[in-house]
Structure 1
């Protein structure tokens, strides 16, 4: 009986080793072409989004600089945006005329 138990144990151990050694052969293969293409598409999309954000940021900075330059020109011509002036539109129009005349004279 002892010999049969030893044989059975030996056969079970050998089978376990064989099955354990074969299992990695059935593991998942490396990434296939569609999966690699999907990763490339994701990377391209992320780069496009980053480029669009940078472009939009540059456009906003340029617009802000233009507006600040125009406001500075009007302030130099006498317009005060912080003042509570009852003649608001007239003062702004006068400053625009003055700034336009100064720009025309310098050309």
Structure 2
């Protein structure tokens, strides 16, 4: 079941890593999403999942629905939220918190990372 409580992480360039001889830029939200997916793979919703559109469309605000998050994370307890936030800090990602009744800020989570409860 989808909730209206979301942790929103904005993206900015955090690092460049070598992959096959070519430099690839990683955004903090991508780094955080991958780290949390390694911890809780069944609770991370990526764009390739059929559940992704459902999670994105669950926002009441049309501007929020237009954002393009990296992934959604659905924790089931406070310890999982804590673990996700540790990964966010490690990734040096900016973040915001959105709960029921909050309006979207323009560009607040475009290409960001969501934790949803």
> What TM-score, normalized by structure 2, do the two folds share?
0.25
Higher relative contact order (CA 8 A, sep 6+): 2
> What TM-score, normalized by structure 1, do the two folds share?
0.26
Query: Which has the higher Rg, Structure 1 or Structure 2?
Result: 1
